[in-house]
Amino acid sequence: MSKDTCRTSTPKGLLIRLWLILAVFGLAAPGLDAANGDLAAVSDTLSSSNRELIDMAEDSRDGTFWVLGANGSSVENHLIYHLSRDLNTVIETVENPHPSGSIAESNMSLNRGIAFHDLTGNLFVLSLTGPRGQQGYEVRGVDESGSANPAFSFSVDLEGQEGASLFGLSFDIVSGQLWTLDINRDRVLRIAFDGSVTRSLLLPDKLNDETLIRGQGLSFDNEALVLYITYGSILDQGASKIIQLSTDGVLLNGEQSAERTGVEVPLGRIPEIDLRGIVPYLVGAGQNRFAVIGGSGRIYQLEQVIPGVIPPSQLSCSLTITSQVVLNWINNGPGVDGAYGGSIQLLRNGTAFATVAGDATSYVDSTPINGPSVYALRAANGELFSPVGCECSTVVGPGGVINWTTAPTHGCYDLALVPGVDKIYVTDDGTGTISVLESDLSETAGDSFPSPWPNPGGIAFVPAIQLGFPPQLYEDFIAVANTSDNRLRLSSLADPGSGTTINLRFPAEMEDPRIGGLTYIPASAPSQQRFVVTERASGEIYIFRTNGNLVRSCSPPSLFLDVAVGAGITYDPLRETLLTSFEDGVVRELYADGPPGTCPLTAPSFDISLEAVGNGFDQAGYVGGIEISANTLLICLPGNGTIFRTLLFPFGPDFTRGDFDRNSEVDLTDAVSVARYLFLGETSPVCMDSADSNDDGILDISDPVYLLFYLFVANSPPPPPPFPEAGNDPTFRDNLGCQE
């Protein structure tokens, strides 16, 4: 799965800056010639290091704008600014009807939204006021002269709406009430003038209570009688588009939800992530725009073009373990379930590559292009296609996202896979819990594991380790590190109350070591078994014996890689190497052994960019624990409490080891065919893996010899799996592959 986004998905930074320069000086393309989401102009009038803006509203009498400061920290920040139609002139300022409060007295007002009341010309200001810990939301009315209107002052009653965090305010001329956005619970709320919540609608794509949908902007369009909100998925750092919603609500999974109309405005032309209030307005006949407040105080003006045929929306991309791309979308045509009268065209990286029927809502790209790809759709009711709708981007091949979920407790520090039962154990140092998921990230019923620490951190599965003298018991354990010191608790998987605690002996000169990720290296000899951790402060890897004694510390030589080690580390038993996350958002493969102080990069090198898991992938601390699961890599993102399953290597087609000619039989002809290929240059195998009879990752003389011994010498070992039945390659990360 990947980003459903309308933000710029290719390197266009210079182009955006050029648009910004042109817009500031009024040189951007005229609106009538512009495309949906184009940047028409930028206002710097209220942009100041001493001023922060939060929301805005249009004055329906003359098309001017009212802009609200963000809080009571200063006079500038608390005022209401009246701007001209072109947003370049301050006409007047109006006193905020809420008291400013103060930081020193812990009662500073936090302004959240402003609305214009078409019937009276009053302004309504939503603010979070009161002493810290006792704050509540209050709406107060004020006229343009700054006189407060007690008739329009009330507290918002959020009983039954626990946990709500309100942003934005807009007057609905149809209901005569106010709309606001609950960014904490991803809902839009309609509020009457007595403060009661008369309607609560879940936002589209809200999968469950833990799914975050980004955005702070909200506005009711009193011309089109629809609601607009800024919107972005959990994969985005901020809002990526403005979407249009109907306000009637539809029943989905027993909950009243807002419904998309399919109209969207991309925000990719805005060179800021922190976007605040929005307002739609008319520039001329048939020419619509949006004003969007940026965190810098700039106000961006975007073109809105609503086409005659609205393209499909909610496009999503997901990757399969065989590296195919599955596309899903919602249609917005005039037919049943939004079907179009014509066809739907699919585009990949800007080029049409497939056409499907107008009622189709999914497609599998079985021959995708390796690397980053951007998909989009357009549709037709007749012969002419609509403009391209919003895109989804994915990475095909290693690093591509298969699926993701929000951690059960909203937090994720590290994770461990328990093979056999195929369960994932997830630590959350914030809640002090260990949660359990299925290996495909689906929920598991009734499974839990008690945390041995108030703040559990790194976690690893430890199979059949020797514990105790005598008797010497071999049990499966879960090893859990304490984030506040150097202790490691081994809790029995069968009986979590039993186990032992190990002190990991870091160098004496290291004060307050902070364990990041944790993994375990198994070995038949107890003296070779190892715990491996990343240490957060030093960015080093530390390797310990199971009694806690330090073996060595290391990091890649700075001559080859001058990037700090991140939190994630996992042991790869197939290649006997470590996969380690780095602070540049790349997972690299390292040898555990090497010269003193170094864990060398493998040769040939293997690395995976994590760009597909979100825009902040290359920021320090963005990636937490990681864990190998078959041909996928599980990744914790502590910042948003999500867990991703990404592709390490795609599974190829099923094959039988030793079956060179793919006739489902392993016999003498296979051994002869391998030898002829190797030494006479005859037909090469379609499936290199099937010809690799001894599964050493190399095709050489040992392969036909191994096969001959198996066929004709008693007690010789058979070919390794998959054998005798066809199946997937368990050593898929060798240098070979298998094609159909």
pLDDT of residue 496 exceeding 70: yes
Share above pLDDT 90 across residues of the chain, in percent, rounded to a whole number: 53
Distance (Å, whole) CA 458 – CA 636: 11
Looking at residues 227-254, what average pLDDT do you find? Answer: 86
Which range, of 22-26, 141-145, 170-174, 213-217, averages the lowest pLDDT? 22-26
pLDDT band at 425 (very low <50, low <70, confident <90, very high): very high
The residue type found at 132 is R
DSSP 380: B
Q: Which two tokens stand for residue 522?
A: 């198994």
Could you read off the pLDDT of 52-66 as tens digits, one per residue?
999 999 999 999 999
Start-to-end CA distance of the chain, whole Å, equals 25
Q: What is the pTM of this model?
A: 0.76
Burial of 190 (0-12, 13-18, 19+ CB in 10 A): buried
pLDDT at 277: 96
Distance (Å, whole) CA 710 – CA 503: 49
pLDDT band at 560 (very low <50, low <70, confident <90, very high): low
Could you read off the pLDDT of 718-736 as tens digits, one per residue?
999 888 888 877 776 666 7
Could you read off the pLDDT of 566-605 as tens digits, one per residue?
999 999 988 889 999 999 999 999 999 989 999 998 877 7
Cβ-contact 220, 169 below 8 angstroms:
no
pLDDT at 146: 85
Q: Which two tokens stand for residue 250?
A: 């539809």
Candidates 592, 568, 599; CA nearest to 582 is 568
pLDDT of residue 237 exceeding 80: no
pLDDT at 11: 35
Which range, of 109-123, 229-243, 432-446, averages the lowest pLDDT? 229-243
Strands 597-598 and 550-555: parallel
pLDDT at 249: 83
Higher pLDDT, 652 or 499: 499
Looking at residues 657-679, what average pLDDT do you find? Answer: 89
Looking at residues 394-420, what average pLDDT do you find? Answer: 91
pLDDT of residue 7 exceeding 50: no
pLDDT at 613: 85
Looking at residues 678-685, what average pLDDT do you find? Answer: 87
Cβ-contact 399, 612 below 8 angstroms:
yes
- Give me the long-range contacts of 87-94 (CB less than 8 A, separation at least 24): 87/41, 87/43, 87/45, 87/291, 87/299, 87/301, 88/43, 88/45, 89/45, 90/45, 90/46, 91/64, 92/144, 94/66, 94/123, 94/142, 94/144, 94/145, 94/146
pLDDT of residue 183 exceeding 80: yes
Burial of 58 (0-12, 13-18, 19+ CB in 10 A): buried
pLDDT band at 443 (very low <50, low <70, confident <90, very high): confident
pLDDT of residue 382 exceeding 90: no
Could you read off the pLDDT of 603-658 as tens digits, one per residue?
777 888 898 887 778 788 889 999 999 889 999 999 888 899 999 887 667 888 98
Cβ-contact 691, 739 below 8 angstroms:
no
Cβ-contact 142, 94 below 8 angstroms:
yes
Angle, to 10 degrees, between the axis of helix 668-680 and the axis of helix 702-712? Answer: 160
pLDDT at 533: 96
Cβ-contact 452, 473 below 8 angstroms:
no
Instruction: Calculate the average pLDDT of the chain.
Output: 88
Residue 277 CB contacts under 8 Å (≥ 6 apart), including other chains: 53, 54, 55, 56, 68, 113, 114, 168, 216, 217, 218, 219, 292, 293
pLDDT of residue 16 exceeding 90: no
pLDDT at 579: 95
Domains and CATH numbers, the chain: 28-304 (2.120.10), 317-392 (2.60.40.10), 402-647 (2.120.10.30), 652-740 (1.10.1330.10)
Residue 642 CB contacts under 8 Å (≥ 6 apart), including other chains: 234, 404, 405, 406, 407, 412, 636
Looking at residues 299-328, what average pLDDT do you find? Answer: 91
Indicate left, alpha or beta for 573 from its phi (over 0: left) and psi (-120 to 50: alpha).
Answer: alpha
pLDDT at 212: 64
Looking at residues 472-487, what average pLDDT do you find? Answer: 86
Could you read off the pLDDT of 29-50 as tens digits, one per residue?
444 467 889 999 999 999 998 8
pLDDT at 511: 86
pLDDT at 22: 42
Looking at residues 679-696, what average pLDDT do you find? Answer: 86
pLDDT at 26: 45
Letter string b/e over residues 347-371, b meaning 16 or more CB atoms within 10 A of that residue's CB: bbeeeeeeebebbbbebebeebeee
Share above pLDDT 70 across residues of the chain, in percent, rounded to a whole number: 91
pLDDT band at 702 (very low <50, low <70, confident <90, very high): very high
pLDDT of residue 331 exceeding 60: yes
Looking at residues 313-324, what average pLDDT do you find? Answer: 88
Q: Which two tokens stand for residue 103?
A: 């930081």
Candidates 23, 50, 616; CA nearest to 297 is 50
Looking at residues 501-528, what average pLDDT do you find? Answer: 92
Sign of the C-alpha dihedral computed for residues 727, 728, 734 and 736 taken in this order = positive
pLDDT band at 3 (very low <50, low <70, confident <90, very high): low
pLDDT at 4: 58
